[in-house]
Amino acid sequence: MMVREPGPSPARVDAPAIRRGRPLARNEILRNGRLGGIAPAELAERFGTPFYAYDLDVVTRQVAALRTALPPVFDLAYAVKANPNLAVLRHQASLGLGADVASGGELRHVLRAGFAPEHIVFTGPGKRDDELAAAVAAGVRVVTVESVGELRRLARIAEAHSRRQPILLRAAAVEAARHERVRIIGDEGAGKFGMDEADLAIAAAEAVASPWLEPLGLHAFGASNLLDAHALAGHVEATVAMAVRIAADAGFALRLVDCGGGLGIPYDVHEPVLDVALLGSRLATLALRLAADPATADTRLLLEPGRYLVGPSGAYVARVTERKEVAGHHVVILDGGIHHVLRPTLVGQEHRVRVLTGVAAGSAAGPGRFPVTIAGPLCTGLDVFVHSGVMALPDPGDLVAVLDVGAYGATESMPFFLSHALPPEIAIRGGEAWVARPRIDPDVWLGWQVGEP
């Protein structure tokens, strides 16, 4: 039986508000104490705890906000790494987005989800021959080449498939305009992503000369989780400027510039929502310039957002198993922890945690609030969601949500640590909830193991 509750649906996107350029403040799964319009206790009873829940209507609104803000020259490819759950992927495909994959496994996910190959882009360091071959065989829109060596391997693979493969060249860094607030724009990772200027020139020349490669343009990722529209716009402008120069020097027509992802979401209550209307208005100026120049009049621009599209759609819900006082300090232990939501520990940034049920639910202010630690069941001091946060105390049995886990939540965690079950992933749309991936008991992977030769 499906759970039906009143709730937002794709048809109720607040398009006029988006058109007026008002950023949608806190478009997220938790609204009025309900998750995607459904009472948390009802979800917990039906699916058990802990669980992840994704409100796909939130995704619809994020996509609409971005699309409405950006000039039409932009295409969007959802960065699958943010959340590869099939329900999320199918939803993105149904909204007409492309997909950005970073491995052969992600490629298989998006093909199964129904993305057309001509809407799939393949980017990422260390692509193996079998992964490149799968992309060429599938006929993906473009493969982003990260080194001269990869370019040569791809040319051989394309020849073996008798296909001319469209490619982008990935720049390790682009030089942002001096007035931008974020001046150094380039991939982190000590050079593992993309090529320097010298290799870009070599790769461009070889691609032009190869009958098996079709150079379309440039790819550059700026920085992750940017909340500053000016910094993002500066990155796009700098990437386009570099692409124009490289294409002109190598003598190919610039058809595509992929500026990566990096559109941020506020994790903290004090952080601003990214002003996509401001981003769009700056990029509209760029789009006009491109359209006016015969060399770029047919150039498409691409963004690969992950976090922005799905982050706020997700919550991780766990139940309080224990509450105690240790040397006068309140400590709450949940039945789930950082093995399922590693990001706060990985990047050192707490996510918002909300009590969903019981007397402490929704009491954000007022008396009866104490410094409290909210932790998971793992045998490591790292397994803490809230360090001395001041809040109303949840009781054993209450439900607690870690918010903003729709991106880099389940997919970026360490689910096998301590052999707890993998929480189910629950998708919600239009007030209907379903199990997108079931709970996986440790007996499943115990059964795969071979303890003796």
Ligand X SMILES: Cc1ncc(COP(=O)(O)O)c(C=O)c1O
Dump the DSSP string for 258-301.
Answer: E----B----STTSPPP-HHHHHHHHHHHHHHHHHSTTTTT-EE
Closer to ligand X at the Cβ: 49 or 85?
85
- Which of 260, 376, 406, 423 forms a contact with ligand X (CB under 6 A)? 260
**Interface with ligand X (CB under 6 A), residue from 306, 314, 394, 406:** 306
Instruction: Using the rule CB under 6 A, give the single segment among 74-82, 173-181, 229-237, 344-352 that binds ligand X.
Output: 74-82
Closest CA to 316 of 225, 403, 408: 403
Residue 123 or 357: the one with the smaller Cβ distance to ligand X is: 123
Site string for ligand X, 405-434 (x = CB under 6 A): --x---------------------------
Contact call for residue 85 and ligand X (CB under 6 A): no
Residue 347: CB minimum distance to ligand X, A: 12
User: Which tokens go with 439?
Assistant: 């709970």
Give the sign of the dihedral formed by CA 76, CA 302, CA 349, CA 409: positive
CA distance 157 to 151: 10
Residue identified by tokens 């529209």 is 229
Q: Are 170 and 148 in contact (CB under 8 A)?
A: no
Contacts of 110 (CB under 8 A, 6+ apart): 80, 89, 93, 99, 101, 120
Q: Given candidates 255, 307, 351, 429, which one binds ligand X under the rule CB under 6 A?
A: 307
Site for ligand X in 204-233 (CB under 6 A): 221, 224-225
Residue 74 binds to ligand X (criterion: CB under 6 A): no
Q: In the bound complex, what is the minimum distance in angstroms from residue 187's beta carbon to ligand X?
A: 8
Query: Cβ 213 to ligand X, closest distance in Å?
Result: 20
Which of 38, 82, 246, 276 binds ligand X (CB under 6 A)? It is: 82
Residue 61 C-beta: closest distance to ligand X, Å? 17
Q: What gap in Å lies between CA 279 and CA 74, rounded to an integer?
A: 12
Distances (CA, A) of 418 to 344, 384, 415, 422, 439: 19, 15, 8, 11, 16
| 314 is a contact residue toward ligand X (CB under 6 A) | no
Tell me how far apart the alpha carbons of residues 238 and 404 are, in angstroms, rounded to a whole number: 30
Q: Which is nearer to ligand X, 47 or 78 (CB)?
A: 78
Smallest distance from the beta carbon of 215 to ligand X, in angstroms?
18
To the nearest whole angstrom, how small is the minimum distance from the Cβ of residue 170 to ligand X? 8
- Contact indicator for 260, 219 with CB cutoff of 8 Å: yes
Does 344 participate in binding ligand X (rule CB under 6 A)?
A: no
The answer to whether 186 contacts ligand X (rule: CB under 6 A) is no
142 binds ligand X (CB under 6 A): no
H-helix segments, 379-437? none
Phi-psi map region of 296: left, alpha, beta (phi>0 left; psi -120 to 50 alpha): alpha
Stretch touching ligand X by CB under 6 A, among 62-70, 78-86, 267-275, 445-453: 78-86
* 60 in contact with ligand X (CB under 6 A): no
Q: Is 280 in the site for ligand X (CB under 6 A)?
A: no
- The least CB distance from residue 106 to ligand X, in Å, is 11
Specify the pairing of strand 329-334 against strand 314-326.
Answer: antiparallel
* C-beta nearest to ligand X: residue: 261
Chain Cα centroid distance, residue 271? 18
Which listed range, 241-249, 261-269, 372-380, 385-393, lies at the site for ligand X (CB under 6 A)? 261-269
- Binding of residue 100 to ligand X (CB under 6 A): yes
Residue with smaller CB distance to ligand X, 9 or 224 = 224
**Cβ atoms 142, 256 nearer than 8 A:** yes
The one among 70, 143, 173, 263 contacting ligand X by CB under 6 A: 263
Taking only Cα atoms into account, the Rg of the chain, rounded to an integer number of angstroms, comes to: 23
Q: Which residues bind ligand X (CB under 6 A)?
A: 79, 81-82, 100, 123, 221, 224-225, 260-263, 304-308, 407
